[in-house]
Amino acid sequence: MALDYLEFDYSEDEEGTGTWDAMACVKAERVPALAAEIERLLRWASQSFAGRRGAVEDGQDWDYDLQAQDDAGQPLNAGFDPDSGTLKLEASATGRTTVSLSLSGSARFGAALREAFELE
């Protein structure tokens, strides 16, 4: 499952926890496609690692942070419901919507993520 909007930068800490950071900035008409891509990724993580979301340093496999804002830097509503597997992402009323997504995970999560989404 290749990604069209999210291009991740990878880093790793001294304990081996991986972090994947991505940012996308799109016009209002592209927000549904971006939201669908983020939803697909978070649904995959929630299903593939069910019950394993939380701080990796506490023994969990993965976690994420999702933020959205408009051109003026005002926050927009963005949230993923793991029970329904759906993402709600508010589009900017004027201009572009910028979304940042950070994933962190164990080596096991990282290997599965790379394989599922063709990440390097």
**pLDDT of 94:** 87
- Is 31 within the bounds of a domain? yes
- Is 12 within the bounds of a domain? no
Phi, psi of 43 (to 5 degrees): -65, -45
- Is 37 within the bounds of a domain? yes
Residues making up the chain, counted from first to last: 120
- Is 76 within the bounds of a domain? yes
DSSP code string of 62-78: EEEEEEEE-TTS-EE-E
**pLDDT of 2:** 84
Write out the two tokens for 81: 């419901």
Number of domains composing the chain = 1
- Is 33 within the bounds of a domain? yes
- Is 86 within the bounds of a domain? yes
- Is 13 within the bounds of a domain? no
The series of mean pLDDT values per 10 residues for the chain, 120 residues long, is 92 92 96 97 97 93 97 96 96 95 96 93
**pLDDT of 88:** 97
Task: Classify strands 9-12 and 18-27 as parallel, antiparallel or unpaired.
Answer: antiparallel
